[in-house]
A and B are shown apart, each in its own frame.
Chain A
């Protein structure tokens, strides 16, 4: 789906297609000149769009996704119409971005939201039919005391297309049989050749024997061929052996249940939970995906296991995000201010050294920091002669993760603050000093507000990022330390790491529940960001 949309994104950059310049009258007759480069780029990009659309069309046709194909054709046609014509200039700029927005933002959000209302997860991934097939297949057992046949796959017709027959030989009695969907019949031993080495039939009158290569290319037909017998059915086991097996469990459409022929027990389909459930409450593990409505939302709000630690975690989550953003900003800005001073020498060297933590991969750094906090072997305790159980105590663990965040994050803040400082005219601060303001007053009244105008959106983005910073926690404390009586929720758990444990730590993954909690988190982050952006706008109005 995303593939055909990626072409037009670059189409915006097509030269020679600039919008009508403000100086020129805005009529269709006056256009920017058509250059050869522009034309070539356009041809290449539209060709790419068409190529990608064709590439995406084949799997869609194969799978019979006609709606998907319709969307693909309509999108491609619309793109061609838009970029081959000379009108709709604003649309030419807006469409690629919109397509990307739909493909990479709107669709995933809708998908998450729809998952939140289902029981999708381990044991509930596929359809009911899939579950029935899985239950039946996994209940096939060899009939006790039955023969293990040596199998040869043969046909009376063409090896590639003819209907298949199993040629079976019993290695003990040396009897030979032919079997197909109609049943098993004995063959005349004189009409077949049996290999003395493998015990397999190598030739039979009237049949063409398939070699393993030929047989394997018709794998589905081999697996599908079941020869009915009195006790069960003969099935292939690979391409050289066959056994007589019986499915102990079968689906009965009449009662919409699974019946076990050995014990007589039945499991009735429960469409509310997507499982076959017996009268005594026993559930078959192979279930299917069903819509569970607001059950997941209800679980998040009412299950004490989930909602109990929610607010405590939320409070620390805010503290972590604000702390990570705030401390890195303060340190980064302080260094930027120090290096901004005209009396400072060797600033380039300092800047280079300061960027180093930012240049190293944070994944590796997080792991290194985790080991440095080790009580007995860690660098921190050994270097300073301490005996602090850093990740063992709630507050020391919190301090530790904030320290790591500070180290990882300040170079970024330093970089952006340096950039923003250079944009503030020195005349302004000079003017304040002429007016007799102290450096602190001039910083408070002039530099900081102007810095914040430029940096507020970045701070908000950094806050939103840290609010969901899984790596910072999973690679260091893993959410710990945990109170002895509560292994569900640790002192440094963020909502997202807590959700992760909840959804994937239990008996298999529960995507439905995970999606529900992530919608809650999305709502929290969205609200915080919306409020902050609104406040920033007010600030900008004041200072600009």
Chain B
């Protein structure tokens, strides 16, 4: 009885296992068969949700034209980290879409390869965009869109674009006194600051983050935070803060700054192309102009960020990925489609000219970013964000600029290798 039971269990168990493995066993040859039938390789692209949707039709077309399979996979969270980790384990994609300031980190982890574009191809792109994806003298990605901050204003409340930040504050204060608005300026900070959004004012007041090395890249050894220029810059910013004019406030956070603007509670908003959709939806009459600088100061330079395609260094089908990224992405049609998925100015001049006519905002944003600074892609930039933002918040809250910025500079210096 006992042996028989054990036997029955064993035989049935093995049969089940065999049927289970039969499935997976038959899977593989099937995949191989279909692959040899299509005779093509497979290209896997990772992108975020929005871009995945825009990319899919083009990826399919590329696949059909060339007899290959193209898969666009959406990675909705932590795309960069996931890409680095997956690359390391050999399970990463062949190409990836992301912001240009990832390049430093992706290169130090050996996750992407340089791309080779011909001189003609390069000439077709916006110069700043090409500069942004150049790192250590090498081109690491093919840019498709740029983005930068600008000043949006409610033209019903403020018909004139302010020339300086002082003009803006005067206009804002007047509106506040007349009870037409409750805030002077919507520039997001929050309790922990926002380095990206304060940077135009910081640069206008004379501050800088990194000096420039001989090859045109940012030089992590020349840190501008903590230097006298940066202290002077934050002294100017402090005057706009809670203990000064009250134009910059910690209570204006990334969550409420756009909605406060669209709720007509402030006439001026410093934001990017992503805010336009909200302003349109709220039915606000708005106009876009460059972020104004301090009177008598330097020009306010917003950061210019670039979205780009990268070729994974450890992809399984590198040749196909290179083909797609260097020859297919450089076509204007794709750039226009990506623009329609999310309205950021295309990096390809031809595509930009094509959509410029339909969308006047685009030219205004691009104008506002004309003198912008390329967002540093060096790994050292990661050490800036957090301490710099906190210093900003503290200064806006009324802390002593000299002490605060010196401490921030020390912290950043300590984290740069």
Contact = CB atoms under 8 A, between A and B. Distances in A.
A binds B: yes
Interface of A: 34, 39, 42-44, 46-48, 50-51, 53-55, 58, 80, 84-86, 122-123, 125-126, 130-131, 133-134, 137-142, 148, 159-160, 211-220, 222-223, 236-241, 243, 245, 283, 285-287, 305, 371, 374-378, 389, 391-392, 477-478, 480-488, 501, 505-509
B279 interface: no
A273 to B, nearest CB: 10
Interface residues of B, number: 90
Contact of A480 (B192, B260, B406): B192
Contacts of A138: 107, 110, 113-114, 136, 138
B247 to A, nearest CB: 13
Interface in B66-91: 66-68, 81, 84, 88
A283 B380 CA distance: 13
Contacts of A392: 191, 250, 397
Most buried by B among A34, A133, A216, A218: A216
B159 interface: no
A237 B380 CA distance: 31
Given A245-B116, A389-B250, A392-B191, 15 more contacts: A47-B12, A47-B14, A51-B17, A55-B21, A122-B105, A123-B109, A134-B107, A138-B107, A212-B40, A213-B67, A216-B319, A216-B323, A219-B316, A219-B319, A481-B191
Given A46-B9, A213-B39, A216-B41, A374 B415 contact: no
A490 to B, nearest CB: 8
B10 A84 contact: yes
Contact of A44 (B16, B38, B319, B387): B16
14 contacts: A46-B16, A55-B21, A86-B2, A122-B105, A126-B88, A138-B114, A142-B116, A159-B39, A219-B316, A237-B322, A283-B417, A286-B108, A482-B394, A487-B386
> 9 closest pairs, A vs B, by CB?
A47-B16, A213-B67, A134-B110, A51-B20, A238-B323, A50-B17, A216-B41, A484-B399, A213-B40
Given A241-B327, A371-B256, A484-B399, A131 B251 contact: no
Interface string B7-19: 0111011111100
Nearest to B62: A212
Contact of A507 (B68, B118, B322, B380): B380
B40 A484 contact: no
Most buried by B among A43, A148, A159, A391: A43
Most buried by A among B35, B249, B387: B387
B204 interface: no
Interface string B236-254: 0000000000000111110
A507 B417 contact: yes
A47 B379 contact: no
Nearest to B90: A63
Contacts of B322: 236-239
B386 A501 contact: yes
B223 to A, nearest CB: 12
Given A138-B114, A213-B67, A485-B404, A54 B17 contact: yes
Nearest to A287: B108
Contacts of A34: 5
B118 A213 contact: no
Contact of B114 (A47, A140, A213): A140
B313 interface: yes
Contacts of A139: 138
A374 to B, nearest CB: 5
Contacts of A220: 316, 318
A214 B39 CA distance: 5
B95 to A, nearest CB: 11
Given A84-B6, A216-B40, A243 B116 contact: yes
A375 B411 contact: no
B20 A482 contact: no
Nearest to A477: B191
Given A39-B8, A376-B249, A487 B387 contact: yes
Contact of A122 (B9, B84, B249): B84
A285 B253 CA distance: 35
Given A123-B379, A507-B380, A217 B39 contact: yes
A149 to B, nearest CB: 11
Contacts of B256: 371, 374, 377
Contacts of A480: 191-192, 390, 393
A141 B138 contact: yes
A219 B387 contact: no
B20 A50 contact: yes
Contact of A377 (B38, B251, B319, B411): B251
Most buried by B among A53, A392, A482: A482
Interface in B311-343: 313, 316-320, 322-327
B13 A241 contact: no
B408 interface: yes
Interface in B104-123: 104-105, 107-110, 113-116, 118
Given A51-B20, A501-B386, A375 B250 contact: yes
B68 A212 contact: yes
Contacts of B253: 371, 374
A478 B190 CA distance: 11
A6 to B, nearest CB: 14
Interface string B387-398: 100110111010
B414 interface: yes
B400 interface: yes
Given A85-B6, A213-B67, A487 B16 contact: no
B403 interface: yes
A34 B318 CA distance: 58
Given A374-B251, A481-B191, A487-B386, A237 B8 contact: no
A217 to B, nearest CB: 4
A327 to B, nearest CB: 24
A487 B255 contact: no
Contact of B319 (A51, A236, A287, A508): A236
A130 B38 contact: no
B322 to A, nearest CB: 4
A376 B183 CA distance: 10
B9 A286 contact: no
Contact of A508 (B105, B403, B414): B105
A236 B385 CA distance: 39
Contacts of B380: 507
Given A50-B16, A212-B68, A240-B327, A487 B8 contact: no
